[in-house]
Amino acid sequence: MAKATKYVSKTPDEKGVINWTEKENNIWQTLITRQLSCIEGKACDEYMLGLTKLNLPQDRVPQLDEISDVLMAETGWQCYPVPALIGFGEFFRLLSEKKFPVATFIRTEEELDYLQEPDIFHEIFGHCPLLTNKSFADYTQAYGKMGLNATHEQRVFLARLYWFTIEFGLLDTPNGLRLYGGGILSSPGETEYALNNQSVERKTFEILDVLRTPYRIDIMQPIYYMIPEVAYLDEIRKFEVEEIMAFVEKAKELGLHAPLYPAKEAS
C-alpha cells in the first residue's frame, strides 16, 4: 500500500490543529460544493444522514477533531492523521482500533478531478459520513481485524474486499441504484459512470467472486458489486476471520477472473 507520492501530509500542532492555507481552503470549497450537487439523489440515505450529522464546513477544510467528535458520539470512531500513504500493517491496525486513517493533505488544482492517493477530501467526504452508521462502522473495524495477522498474499486478496465495498460499493435498492462507496461518492466522474455507463458490469455481491476480481486504481471501474442495503454489511461481518481466510484460500486455488480492463502500459 505504501509507495512513492509527491504529496506531503501536514502535521497537526500541539493542539491537534492543522493550518490550511487560503488556497487549500478554496480547493476544499470547490470540491465539496461540486460534489454535493453531483451526489444529490444518488447517494444512499445512510450516507446523506451521516453528512447531515457531520455538518461539514464548505468554506474551509475541517479539522479532524471536529469530525472525530461526531464519530465518537455516534459509533466510537475517530479520525487519525497519517502520511500520504501508509503500509498494509498500519492500515489494518488503525481500522481494528476504530481509528480512520486520514492523509492530511489536499489535492492540487491540477488534480481536482482525480488523484491516485486518497487525500483529506476523499477520506472525509467519501467515507466519514457512513462511519456514523453502525453497520458500516462495525464492518470497517471487522475488516481491520481480518487483516491484522494475515500474510502479505492474503492481504492482497483482502484488498479486493475493501475495494468493492468500502471504496466502490453500490446499493441495489427498491428505488434504484444508490452509492455508498467512498471512491465513487468523492468523484464526480465516477458518480456518473458507476450509475449510468451502459458497458459497466454491476453484479450481486458474492464474497468469493469479489476476492477473485482484479482491479486497477487508475481507471474508471469496469465492474461494481451491489448489496441491497448498508445493513447487509453486517452479514459479511458475521463471518469469522477463519471463514474469511478460507474464502481467500479458495480464491487463490481457483485463481483470478480475467480482468475487464487493458493491461497498464509501462511507464
Binding residues for Fe cation: 122, 127, 167
**222 neighbors 216 (Cβ within 8 angstroms):** no
> What separation in angstroms does the CA of 219 have from each of 15, 18, 116, 131, 222?
39, 32, 10, 26, 8
Q: What is the dihedral of CA 243, 245, 246, 248, to 10 degrees?
A: 130
Residue 215 C-alpha cell reads as: 482491479
Instruction: For 32-53, give the DSSP string.
Output: HHHHHHHTTTTB-HHHHHHHHH
> Mapping DSSP to helix (H, G, I), strand (E, B) and coil, where does residue 256 land?
coil
Binding residues: 122, 127, 167
| Gap between the Cα atoms of 148 and 150, Å rounded | 6
Burial of 60 (0-12, 13-18, 19+ CB in 10 A): middle
Residue 50 C-alpha cell reads as: 451521516
